[in-house]
A and B are shown apart, each in its own frame.
Chain A
Amino acid sequence: MLDGCPSTYLITFWRCVMSTKDDALLKELTLEEYKYGFTTDIEMDIAPKGLTEDTVRLISAKKNEPEWLLEWRLKALQHFLKMDMPTWQNFENPDVDFQDISYYAAPKAKPKLNSLDEVDPELLSTFAKLGIPLDEQKVLAGVVAVDAVFDSVSVKTTFREKLKEQGVIFSSFGEAVQEHPELIRQYLGTVVPQTDNVYAALNSAVFSDGSFVYIPKGVRCPMELSTYFRINAENTGQFERTLIIADEGAYVSYLEGCTAPMRDENQMHAAVVELIALKDAEIKYSTVQNWYPGDKDGKGGIYNFVTKRGICKGDHSKISWTQVETGSAITWKYPGVILKGDHSVGEFYSVALTRNKQVADTGTKMIHLGKNTRSKIISKGISAGVSHNSYRGLVKIGPGADNSRNFTQCDSLLIGDRCGAHTFPYIESRNKTAKLEHEATTSKIGEDQLFYLTQRGIDPEKAVGLIVNGYAKEVLNQLPMEFAVEAQKLLAISLEGSVG
């Protein structure tokens, strides 16, 4: 053990996206709850608990950041300390002691890694168990570049070289700060300002790492970019920062999948994601979120308080959010789009599934500023157990947004009679030429639907899976093919035992 390193940590992993298509494994998973049981010993480097200016300075120094970024962080911290916790949400805000969190955790490894050989073998074998195609062969066989984030530090980015040939930058946020400070400085905080909300301010002050993507003018990114986030060490908050820029005429599809281990105490995740689409550019951002939701009594589980926003900065640009949310004790986020460019398009497709005592308060914000801008919102909530699932969405039409249009459809599906579905649509229109449509439905998985399917010989659990996947189809269809398959399985598995 190295000096100054706290004891070796036992780390249990929780897989979120099942990359395996192996049905035998799937069957095993469906039979047991949260038994992804394998552990690994990794030496961790953890900052002392607490949040002060010194904490921020430590993080910034650890990451060898330029002075302007430290100043930026410190400004955010000042905002954070002055801000109050929000009270408008449709659940009881958990009491988080911000001084009891460690704001930096990184695996102890060599400072600079050039090849897989240099990566901690323990870490590699863990990735192997998780089935992440880190080794080149596996990646070559697929079409996905995986930037595996272990705790807060990016360990290894595959395929970056190949992407580089086209001028695509896909790296950890920390590396981007070192290698492309001008881009970071130009865009950081331009979509989600430090003052946006209390968790965004916190993230801005203490973010540890995350992902950075830049697609140059006219380039269509040749592969799906994918990042697996996971939270591992005990009592370390996770503050990811993601910045994606699609220059004029560029296209990128990005998938974020998440894992977290089983823990007794709650863990908070307060990420910030900023997307910038310039003229004629398109960004497609997909999320499959399956963090530990807590046990049946609501003990443990992740607090997922995330700020995600994109700006369609140029004319004819497009940003599309797709999310499948099945995990976390509390999911609280509203991926939004600012439609600044004329003729720009914003889309939001969401499936949020809650069971047991889970809470989801999620939706989107579509801010129409440019002329002839269009937005589409498709939200599918699924509630089981005693969970609460809320859709909260804002459609705002600015005075200059002539002929802008929005279509919103938010559906709720209830399983059992002890759960809740809530809808909070907000509409603000300051332009008479705008057209807005809102449709909402609430339905229950009926005894008659279940009986119909079981009468044809289909197992009841499978029947629920079919019904739920049918219900969510419109959203799942937006996901890249291989992830759509996984998301379908995830939905079915998440509902195991919800019927009856």
Chain B
Amino acid sequence: MLSIKNLHASVEDKAILKGLDLEVKAGEVHAIMGPNGSGKSTLGNVLAGREAYEVTEGEVLLDGSDLLALSPEDRAREGVFLAFQYPIEIPGVSNINFLKTALSEIRAYKGLPPMEARDFLKKVKEKQQLVEFDAKLANRSLNEGFSGGEKKRNEIFQLAMLEPKLAILDETDSGLDIDALRIVARGVNQLRADNNAFILITHYQRLLEYIVPDFVHVLYNGRIVRSGTKELALELEEKGYDWIKETVDA
């Protein structure tokens, strides 16, 4: 589904990603771990097409076509979803209105008419339950005055509503208490399917106890320096990132 080859990217002329390779197939969950400043969040932002992130070399293909040539909105319409590390507050714009607009735009891109109001509301109800998202929050302004945990859950609610092909969760676990983490993980697990894929960006192994990844990659200094299965995450937890740093820098 996703094929990243020799990806180099920089922010304000500072090179962050320095030759990253990654293959993600439909139905897979990949965890990307790594110390602070290794380029984890940059990867998410580059894939989503954030303006400040400049790709200097390499290619990214989504189902065989050039993802990097697309605008952020078209990437989203093609099915790339980024769950933000720090979701943004937009005062006065209701969560529901926002989702309705987003869904209609994505459907229009695919040549589909907007959903019937009834079907839309049914879907909202269903997905709210899936991620245990308070119905009151759905009618409030987008993320305005939400707690950190509510914002993260809203990201998963949006994920459930938009049903993307490729979901990138950028440190969705950070700032969540254990109950919220469990709810978020349950939501993601229920959304896992043969025709979609997840990239989990995280610092901690904790999240991976709830969402079991097929692959774990360690990102360090802009490159993936080690790949394995979930056991790699455990080893990392035990030995710390210094272990990686030493082996790579040596």
B141 within 8 A of A: yes
Assembly CA distance A471 to B92 (angstroms): 6
- Which listed segment binds B: A161-169, A240-248, A312-320, A446-454? A446-454
Assembly CA distance A467 to B94 (angstroms): 10
Assembly CA distance A454 to B142 (angstroms): 14
Chain A residues, CB < 8 A from B141: 470
Within 8 A of A (CB), among B101-121: 101-103, 105-106, 109
In this complex, the interface size class of chain A, counting residues with CB under 8 Å from chain B, is: 20 to 34
Chain A CB within 10 A, most for which of B48, B71, B81, B93: B93
A474 B92 Cβ-Cβ under 8 A: yes
| CB-CB nearest in chain A for B144 | A470
**Contact mask B44-87 → A, CB, 8 Å, 1/0?**
00001111100000000000000000011101110001101001
B90 A467 Cβ-Cβ under 8 A: yes
Given contacts A453-B98, A454-B76, A462-B101, whether A467 and B51 have CB atoms under 8 Å apart is no
B73 A471 Cβ-Cβ under 8 A: no
Given contacts A451-B50, A454-B76, A456-B158, whether A472 and B105 have CB atoms under 8 Å apart is no
**Contact mask A470-495 → B, CB, 8 Å, 1/0?**
11111000000000000000000000
Assembly CA distance A471 to B89 (angstroms): 12
Number of interface residues of B (CB under 8 A): 32
**Contact mask A433-469 → B, CB, 8 Å, 1/0?**
0000000000000111101111111111010001101
Decide if the interface of chain A is mainly helix, strand, loop or mixed.
Answer: helix
Chain B CB within 10 A, most for which of A446, A467, A469, A470: A470
Chain B residues, CB < 8 A from A459: 73, 105
| CB-CB nearest in chain A for B102 | A456
B92 A473 Cβ-Cβ under 8 A: yes
Chain B residues, CB < 8 A from A458: 73, 98, 101-102, 105
Assembly CA distance A448 to B88 (angstroms): 7
A361 to chain B, nearest CB (A): 25
Chain B residues, CB < 8 A from A448: 88
A454 B73 Cβ-Cβ under 8 A: yes
Assembly CA distance A233 to B88 (angstroms): 49
B216 within 8 A of A: no
Assembly CA distance A459 to B43 (angstroms): 23
A455 B76 Cβ-Cβ under 8 A: yes
Please name the 5 residue pairs, one residue from A and one from B, whose CB atoms are nearest each other, closest first. A470-B92, A470-B93, A457-B76, A473-B92, A456-B102
B residues in contact (CB < 8 Å) with A = 48-52, 71-73, 75-77, 81-82, 84, 87-88, 90-93, 97-98, 101-103, 105-106, 109, 141-142, 158, 162
A residues in contact (CB < 8 Å) with B = 446-449, 451-460, 462, 466-467, 469-474
Other than A466-B90, A473-B92, give 14 A-B pairs with Cβ distance below 8 A: A451-B72, A453-B102, A454-B72, A454-B76, A455-B73, A455-B82, A457-B105, A457-B109, A457-B162, A458-B98, A466-B101, A467-B93, A469-B93, A470-B90
